[in-house]
Structure 1
Amino acid sequence: MALFVVHRYLGDEDNDLKDHSQVLLQRLKERVRARQQQRQQQDDHMPAESGPDNEMPDMDLEKEAKQKSKKRKQSEESPFTEGHRKRKKKLATEGGEGVEEKDDDLSPRRSKTSGKESKTPQGRTDGGEGSEIKLASQLEDDGSAGEREDGAEARANESHGEKEQMLKSPQEPKETPPPPNTIVLGDWVLKAAQKKKVEPLLPRWLAEPKLVQRRIKENVVPLQDVPVIHPKLRKKLQANGIESLFPVQAEVIPAILESGFLAGRGGYQPSDICVSAPTGSGKTLAFVIPVVQALLDRVVCRVRALAVLPTKELAQQVTKVFNIYTDGTGLKVVQLTGQKSFAKEQESLAEETLMGFRSLADIVVATPGRLVDHLQQSPQFSLKELRFLIIDEADRMIDNMHQDWLRQVVAAAHSAAEEGSGTPQLFRRAEQGPLTAARAGCPHVPLQKLLFSATLTRNPEKLQPLGLYRPRLFTPISSEEKAMETTKKYALPEGLSQYYVPCNLRWKPLFLLHFLLRLKFSRVLCFTNSRDTSHRLFLLLQAFGGVNVAEFSSRLNPRQRKLTLKEFEQGKIQLLISTDATARGIDIGGVKCVISYDAPQFIRTYIHRVGRTARAGKAGLAFTMVLKQQERKFLKMLREAGLPELEQQLVKNTSLQPLLTQYEKALADLQKIMKEERAEKRS
């Protein structure tokens, strides 16, 4: 009997397997056809699919059955199967059916999950029959097997559709759906073009500023329409030829004056004021008028206003404006910029009496470094009754906190009164906070910060060290932007015309000479990126001749710089070559044109350079010389800042040809002058 079993296994199983695979294939084809007919009956409204698509499942099933039979043949022909057969034949001759079952348990098995039939090595006599019974039962099970066939067919059709779509649009990125257990808010299918940039979440005072009209000429406000200005100051304004205020001045002056001297509206501490307005829009007068008016009725002289500015020239300009409007009022203005000796500046701040030190200054204008020196070394310099802290060119002051000057100023303003001092302190100063019954019992002197800049940052992290209290922001907007409900990050003067000039490094001085001699520009302010470049260009143009030129940089002492600016304003100098020292806030009258000999590397530098012209609503020109390798980066910088596109100004070679001979001679003279200067430095 054992021999018969082995003989049957070795001889008859191949034919049985082939017949069985054909039966299985026929059954699968019949079930697929039946399901296709049932689906067509259910979806009569859907168009019929093409013939090749309908034949896909049959072809796949037929191919799968052929692969199964091929694998079985390969397993039969393998050396492992032959050895196993010999071992089983030997065991069968010895009559060991129990051993045969044990050998069956040790035989290796391969199984596949996810609804597919398991494959067992053909090393036992009942393996074929068991697999036949299992497959037959799976085919007769309409629920599970049918669902698996539907899923397989759906996946096949889905993959076929995806391939067609990829062939139609190969460049379109494939969208990956979210996980099935994920809650999706909104439509997750977004194309790259539809994805919007996430805007930062700003504090309310930055996101919703007080909007001021940008156009100056069309929106001036007569003085009589601003009744909060004191009659004395109104007369001084009229005496200086000012009959109306610019839009920024008309909005900011009342906002500062409504805070009063001790408390703001309703008894609350006044809010800090931030003003971001274009150059030449009257920001200096916007803080000079309200500060002077708030101190008009003072009785005892104390330092109650402190203006901090980044450069000496700008400090001189602000001091000049303060002196004009404090003349005849009894208020005293002191400048701390290092132009005088330290001892003389100490004498101008206070004098020593039998009762102690007596202040001689009501308003102090200082640069950060000199201010810190006096806070640390001048005991007579007291800020205990400081009422206004003015920070002009605030963006630059924030970026360059020299010697941590702001922290020292705030600490000096909140320091306690010295014991034994002969001058009693009438008003106490308290830290910033809400109004309470205890705080209302005694008058307090608030410290109000006033920030002004043409490029004030909107970054809350950079503004946080200033310690602003309930700030209010004033920013310009044009009528078009107001209609569109948008505001630009940076604002330029209204009458400014901007151009860029493509050039190469070798002929840049010739381009500058072309503008001065051929186009006959007058009152030109030229900017360079370094002191050495400014000096070499000055020497070259001086050697060329025909142009009244001067340089303005840190190579000159304060007296020489002041004299140079005065001569330029008077029209004695046609071209003033400068570093960015004059680009910040300095109001030089009569500048018709600004030329950036070196392209600025930062957008703020560009804003302040071109802002030296077209001031107070007047017209002005701005040219920027750009090398070929700089052009793309420069235009991108302006575009990202939201500035209007610059017009290209081309200069023909024929226009430069008449200047070439004299230019080459000037270059030779420049080399000799530079050698002489280097020799002098060495000696």
Structure 2
Amino acid sequence: MELTIEQFREYIIEAWKIAGFSTFTDVQQKSIPLMLQKKDVIVESPPGTGKTLGYLLPIMQELDKEAKHPQAIIVSPTKELVMQIHDEATRFLQGSGFSSATFIGGADLKRQIEKFKKHPQIVIGTPHRLVELIEMKKLKMHEIKTIVLDEADQTISSGMTKEVDRIIQATLRDRQLVAFSATVPDQTVEMLEKRMNQPTNIKVESSVELKEKVAHLYVVCERRDKIDYLRRILHTEPGMKAIAFINDAFHLEGLAAKMAYKKISVGILYSQSTQAEREATLKKFRAGKFQLLLATDVAARGLDIEGITHVIHLDLPEAIESFVHRSGRTGRMGASGTVVSIVTSGEEKQLKQFERKLGITMQQVTLFKGQWTEDKQVRSNPKSPTTGSKKKNSSKKGTHGAFKRPNKK
């Protein structure tokens, strides 16, 4: 039986219509019925496919109006994700009489404890802060029906595993435990299965249509030329809204200064910045005051910023999971987007491995007069120069932003 929105409570139906949704996504169709049956589930689904509502809607459907205590806990690895989940929950709880509350590290503990006086039914927080509240006996866990591990591969990682276990162990044995992430490596599955009761594994692949809406381009150049390529890419399309990822936070501020010198409005996002600094940066980026957001992988996890047109890998990540999470910041919920990897000839080999494993097409291109250009000579000879060749004058020019892929044979 196909899942329909009419099966839900009236306030959920109303919020669904206001949000402009028409049908459930694949991951929602597969995960929501199982959650309503109180099953433990492990869900792997690409970025931008609607995982957050995949667990929020069944939780909201089952909330008890008579209860004055938290009924569900959502554990998320970063402060930004906690706030993002809370925003989505608030939107769908409008007019229901239910509420959610956030609990994050770095915020004033006394003020956060005050939130319990409003009796939130859904608690959303980072692992360390939630454990603090449990140890202080401010967060009572015996009435919790469902625990969600958001971005599960990171939440259950070695740095947070003990805290996650403390949260799980504080609940009764009949609680429901679910895990959602864009990538769930085998090691993470094994760790989760040890903590779950006969879990069902759900894996949703990107549809062909969804893959076709995101163009994957790459440029091969010397390492010293990467910053210049970044600058040139930002001028390929009017109104571009881009995130560029680097591996080492140490270089962020210097890179931002170089971009600012080139008259490019830029913000930076990394784990060492304060919560207030990160919130201010994201607010300005969402408002269009920054054309470019420079970030480390802290921004790659589930961060949902509307209208990101381009993701740029200035540094290629070592792990394919990081490549997936980074790239997933564009092309969300069926929108079009462009992913550009700026790689050295050595990094190209690793990029090609990603291409094969992910089953996507990556088009090698260069830039000519502010446009993406496919050059067959460049594609067949990665060591040939990517700029300044007279042969590029006769090459076929692509469209601004997303280069049109060649027809597959």
TM range (shorter): 0.7 to 0.9
- The 3 A distance-change label for structure 1 pair 324 and 520 is closer
Tell me how far 1:464 sits from its aligned partner: 4.8
- Match of residue 256, structure 1, among 13, 19, 35: 35
For residues 26 and 100 of structure 2, what CA distance do their matches in structure 1 show?
27
Counterpart of 2:269 in structure 1 is 552
Counterpart of 2:324 in structure 1 is 607
Counterpart of 2:177 in structure 1 is 449
Counterpart of 1:284 in structure 2 is 52
Give the AA of the match of 1:611. G
Contact 2:211 2:360 in 1 (8 A): no
Tell me how far 1:300 sits from its aligned partner: 2.3
- The 3 A distance-change label for structure 1 pair 536 and 479 is closer
Counterpart of 1:383 in structure 2 is 141
Secondary structure at 1:525's aligned position in 2? strand
Contact 2:240 2:310 in 1 (8 A): yes
- Match of residue 241, structure 1, among 20, 29, 38: 20
- The 3 A distance-change label for structure 1 pair 369 and 618 is same
Q: How many residues of Structure 1 are paired with residues of Structure 2 in the alignment?
A: 370
Give the AA of the match of 1:454. A
Contact 2:155 2:164 in 1 (8 A): no
For residues 283 and 504 of structure 1, what CA distance do their matches in structure 2 show?
38
For residues 585 and 504 of structure 1, what CA distance do their matches in structure 2 show?
31
Render the CA deviation track for 1:402-442: whole Å, top value 9, x for unaligned. Answer: 2601221122113xxxxxxxxxxxxxxxx4xxxxxxxxxxx
For residues 352 and 323 of structure 2, what CA distance do their matches in structure 1 show?
12
Give the AA of the match of 2:69. R
- Match of residue 226, structure 2, among 477, 501, 508: 508
Render the CA deviation track for 1:197-216: whole Å, top value 9, x for unaligned. Answer: xxxxxxxxxxxxxxxxxxxx
- Match of residue 353, structure 2, among 625, 636, 660: 636
Tell me how far 1:400 sits from its aligned partner: 3.2
For residues 91 and 146 of structure 2, what CA distance do their matches in structure 1 show?
19
For residues 260 and 188 of structure 2, what CA distance do their matches in structure 1 show?
48
Q: Are 2:92 and 1:328 equivalent residues in the alignment?
A: no
Counterpart of 2:297 in structure 1 is 580
Give the AA of the match of 2:127. P
Secondary structure at 2:111's aligned position in 1? helix
Render the CA deviation track for 1:224-261: whole Å, top value 9, x for unaligned. Answer: x444222221112112222322222233223222x2xx
Counterpart of 2:388 in structure 1 is 654
For residues 386 and 393 of structure 1, what CA distance do their matches in structure 2 show?
20
Segments of 5+ residues of structure 1 without an aligned counterpart are: 1-220, 260-269, 351-358, 415-430, 432-445, 481-490, 656-683
- Match of residue 284, structure 2, among 567, 571, 574: 567
For residues 298 and 207 of structure 2, what CA distance do their matches in structure 1 show?
34
The 5 A counterparts of 1:362-373 are 362-373=121-132
Secondary structure at 1:310's aligned position in 2? coil
For residues 137 and 98 of structure 2, what CA distance do their matches in structure 1 show?
22
Give the AA of the match of 2:198. R
- The 3 A distance-change label for structure 1 pair 271 and 585 is same
- Match of residue 592, structure 1, among 295, 309, 326: 309
Render the CA deviation track for 1:81-130: whole Å, top value 9, x for unaligned. Answer: xxxxxxxxxxxxxxxxxxxxxxxxxxxxxxxxxxxxxxxxxxxxxxxxxx
TM-score (ref. length: structure 1): 0.51
- Match of residue 341, structure 1, among 75, 98, 108: 108
For residues 238 and 92 of structure 2, what CA distance do their matches in structure 1 show?
38
Counterpart of 1:273 in structure 2 is 41
For residues 21 and 300 of structure 2, what CA distance do their matches in structure 1 show?
25
- More helix as a share of residues: 1
For residues 232 and 330 of structure 1, what CA distance do their matches in structure 2 show?
10
For residues 516 and 478 of structure 1, what CA distance do their matches in structure 2 show?
28
For residues 461 and 290 of structure 1, what CA distance do their matches in structure 2 show?
22
Counterpart of 1:410 in structure 2 is 168
Sequence identity (%): 28
For residues 16 and 41 of structure 2, what CA distance do their matches in structure 1 show?
23
- The 3 A distance-change label for structure 1 pair 334 and 469 is same
Q: Are 2:247 and 1:529 equivalent residues in the alignment?
A: yes
- The 3 A distance-change label for structure 1 pair 492 and 634 is farther
Secondary structure at 1:245's aligned position in 2? coil
The 5 A counterparts of 1:145-156 are none
- The 3 A distance-change label for structure 1 pair 632 and 492 is farther
Tell me how far 1:462 sits from its aligned partner: 3.1
Give the AA of the match of 2:134. L
Tell me how far 1:586 sits from its aligned partner: 0.8
Tell me how far 1:459 sits from its aligned partner: 4.1
Contact 1:306 1:390 in 2 (8 A): yes
Tell me the C-alpha RMSD between the 2 structures.
Answer: 2.4
For residues 517 and 277 of structure 1, what CA distance do their matches in structure 2 show?
33
Give the AA of the match of 1:590. G
Counterpart of 2:405 in structure 1 is none
Counterpart of 2:197 in structure 1 is 469
For residues 642 and 517 of structure 1, what CA distance do their matches in structure 2 show?
29
More contact order relative to length (CA 8 Å, sep ≥ 6): 2
Give the AA of the match of 2:76. L
- More strand as a share of residues: 2
Structure (1 or 2) with the larger CA radius of gyration:
1
Tell me how far 1:494 sits from its aligned partner: 5.1
Q: Are 2:217 and 1:499 equivalent residues in the alignment?
A: yes
Give the AA of the match of 1:320. D
Render the CA deviation track for 1:293-312: whole Å, top value 9, x for unaligned. Answer: 100x4302111100000110
Tell me how far 1:638 sits from its aligned partner: 3.8
- Match of residue 626, structure 1, among 343, 348, 351: 343
- The 3 A distance-change label for structure 1 pair 642 and 556 is closer
- The 3 A distance-change label for structure 1 pair 300 and 312 is same
Secondary structure at 2:147's aligned position in 1? strand
Give the AA of the match of 1:643. G
TM-score (ref. length: structure 2): 0.84
Tell me how far 1:533 sits from its aligned partner: 1.8
Counterpart of 1:126 in structure 2 is none
